[in-house]
Amino acid sequence: MLLKAVIFMNLALAFYTYAVFSGRREGLHRKHLLVFGIGLFFDYLGTSQMNLYATTTAPAPAWHNLTGILSLAGMAFHFLLALVAAFCQKADAVNRTFHRVSLTIYSLWLMAFASGAIFGMMRIS
């Protein structure tokens, strides 16, 4: 269960990182939406597996649960914003807004990812 969660979260990291930085460099295209959606899917699977693992072992600290849920919600919002930017007729304005918030949301997600990894490693040792 833990191994699956770690794999899913690392896949989410890889897909998110590609989508955010490639989309920023090249401009947001539909391929970035696909990659972003895949990252969101792996994030959901990883978060679900981590939750199952936490219920069978000692629960994670409340602050980590909060940051994990908020970062998943932030990435879901980020994905919806990317959809709007890609399909809206005023895509340029939405695209600028998307790239403004993109790194902020990604950074918050990355902090939740790192805190979970650090907490998990401290727990194992």
pLDDT per position in the chain (125 positions), as tens? Answer: 778 988 999 999 999 999 888 877 887 778 888 998 999 999 999 988 888 887 787 666 677 778 878 888 888 988 888 787 777 766 666 667 777 788 888 888 888 888 877 777 776 65
Instruction: Domain count for the chain, please give it.
Output: 1
Label residues 22-43 b or e (16+ Cβ within 10 Å = b).
bbeeeebeeebbebbebbbebb
**Which domain, by its residues, includes 24?**
2-124
Q: Global pTM?
A: 0.82
Helices in 27-90 by DSSP H: which ranges?
Answer: 30-56, 62-87
Q: Tokens 């932030």 identify what position? A: 74
